[in-house]
Amino acid sequence: MKLYRASLAHTPRNPFTHLDALETFDDGGLLVDRDKILELGEFSNVQAKYPRAKVIDCTESFIVPGLVDSHVHFPQVSVIGTMGVQLLEWLETRTLPEEEKLADSGYAREVAKDFLTHLVRNGTTTALVFGSHFKNAMHEFFQAAQDSRLRITSGMVFSDRELRPKLHQSPQQAFASGAELIMRWHNHNRLRYAVMPRFSLSCSDKMLEVCSALLSAQPGILFHSHINENPLEIQTVKRLANAPDYLESYERHNLVTERSVFAHSVHPTASELARMAKAGASVAHCASSNAFIGSGLFPMRAHLEAGVHMALGSDVGGGTGFSLLKEGLEAYQMQMLQAEGIKLSPAHLLYLATKAGAKALHLEDQIGDFTSGKQADFVVLKAPRGSTLERTLSQSPSMAASLGALFTLAREESVKNVFVAGEKLV
């Protein structure tokens, strides 16, 4: 047994519904027995109860649950920072040409390994990862993900219209590839499969039917796609799918369920929100991407009032990097800019970056907070010597204030160690 001594913070309850959601220990002890969390509390109390546990001294550090990225694209690391274009032009001119390069499995392997390294460096231990259009690139990605020991849910991306023909496959090919990947990788170690039409803009009804069939191929498969991100995209979907709204293009194929995660949802109608809430579908809020590619200000209050579950996604490469801490800051700022915005607290940000993601990914029984019995996935954050963060933390009046400083200032240079199931990855 190992007893980690640090300042601890987690959200065992939902801060959108509970005032006492945030639990912190200034001088805390996190007791880990092999892959699981056994206990959490004041360091002195936990130590008195388990005097034989080996103490790992992380004083001057903060420990939070492993961060969960609920929407990120593995082939897009090298397009981060593409300026001056909105979604469809951004896809056409820079992003999809890069994704075409993953037809080369050797390149796909290199990109996959690199991507997973960046997740870990940023403290992300679990992710829902938008894949590649190429089956062999997905075998490379899943192999690298298995080697990384991270908790990864991913899938091959399907398209059969619009965009670039090199990225198309027929619905029959998509079914065969999806079935092969599910057989090989779904529920293998920490991997799971999610069915991923790129978006209904680039998928015919036949293709979405295939998605529906794959979704029920085995229990536990998730559905993941994009929705209501950009006005021109929405207009195009309604025209191509001949649908009154974007959600309907998925609904008509039974793709809106409690196992569905939709990225963006920047411009939903009230009816779409009500239907997503009723179905129990989740939204991955990608704050930095929504700002960077000019998609719009996320209507968090409307989602909350409708009862739609939300988590955070970095949406690399539309997003501006892998840090879920930065994504929390961006979410905070995007709300502050709106008259109707939610005043997010550090507890909300921590929840959105951890437990909310675990819930969206249906992993809440295993990860997301430090409840006894959960998997020991956690991140040790420490301000670099001489950094602005170190200075700010030294004057912090409370743990909540320290968390606010971490979301604002801590980035990959402050991620000291990352643990998944009690095992150190960094």
Q: State the residues that interact with Zn ion by CB under 5 A.
A: 263, 315
Q: Which residues pair with 197 in a beta bridge?
A: 158
170: nearest Cα among 178, 179, 160, 162: 160
> Nearest distance from residue 107's CB to Zn ion, in Å?
21
Residue 22 interacts with which of ligand GUN, Zn ion, none, CB < 5 to 8 Å by class: none
- Taking CB positions, which residue lies at the least distance from ligand GUN? 318
The CA distance from 415 to 311, in Å, is 21
318 binds ligand GUN (CB under 6 A): yes
Residue 229 interacts with which of ligand GUN, Zn ion, none, CB < 5 to 8 Å by class: ligand GUN
> Nearest distance from residue 392's CB to ligand GUN, in Å?
32
The CA distance from 114 to 121, in Å, is 11
The CA distance from 94 to 109, in Å, is 20
132 binds ligand GUN (CB under 6 A): no
330 binds ligand GUN (CB under 6 A): no
Pick 96 or 406: Cβ nearer ligand GUN:
96
Residue 199 interacts with which of Zn ion, ligand GUN, none, CB < 5 to 8 Å by class: ligand GUN
Pick 74 or 370: Cβ nearer ligand GUN:
74
289 binds ligand GUN (CB under 6 A): yes
Pick 225 or 408: Cβ nearer ligand GUN:
225
315 binds ligand GUN (CB under 6 A): yes
Residue 133 interacts with which of Zn ion, ligand GUN, none, CB < 5 to 8 Å by class: none
Pick 263 or 409: Cβ nearer Zn ion:
263
Greatest Cα pair distance, the chain, in angstroms, is 67
Single-letter amino acid code for the residue at 204: S
Residue 289 interacts with which of Zn ion, ligand GUN, none, CB < 5 to 8 Å by class: ligand GUN
The CA distance from 311 to 355, in Å, is 8
Single-letter amino acid code for the residue at 330: E
Residue 208 interacts with which of ligand GUN, Zn ion, none, CB < 5 to 8 Å by class: none
Which one of residues 10, 73, 224, 267 is an interface residue with ligand GUN (CB under 6 A)? 73
Residue where the block lists tokens 């037809």? 103
Residue where the block lists tokens 């109860």? 49
> Nearest distance from residue 91's CB to ligand GUN, in Å?
6
Pick 208 or 261: Cβ nearer Zn ion:
261
**Going residue by residue from 177 to 216, which x/- string records binding to ligand GUN, judged by CB under 6 A?**
---------------------xx-----------------
> Nearest distance from residue 159's CB to ligand GUN, in Å?
9
**Going residue by residue from 392 to 421, which x/- string records binding to ligand GUN, judged by CB under 6 A?**
------------------------------
> Nearest distance from residue 134's CB to ligand GUN, in Å?
15
Strand-pair category, 124-130 with 151-155:
parallel
**Going residue by residue from 220 to 239, which x/- string records binding to ligand GUN, judged by CB under 6 A?**
------x--x----------
User: If you ran DSSP here, which 8-state letter would residue 6 be given?
Assistant: E
23 binds ligand GUN (CB under 6 A): no
Pick 128 or 263: Cβ nearer Zn ion:
263
Residue where the block lists tokens 């930095």? 288
The stretch near ligand GUN (CB under 6 A) out of 87-95, 105-113, 249-257, 364-372 is 87-95
Residue where the block lists tokens 């719009």? 296
Residue 198 interacts with which of ligand GUN, Zn ion, none, CB < 5 to 8 Å by class: ligand GUN
Pick 36 or 164: Cβ nearer Zn ion:
164
374 binds ligand GUN (CB under 6 A): no
Residue 245 interacts with which of Zn ion, ligand GUN, none, CB < 5 to 8 Å by class: none
Binding site for ligand GUN (CB under 6 A): 73, 87, 91, 95, 198-199, 226, 229, 289, 315, 318
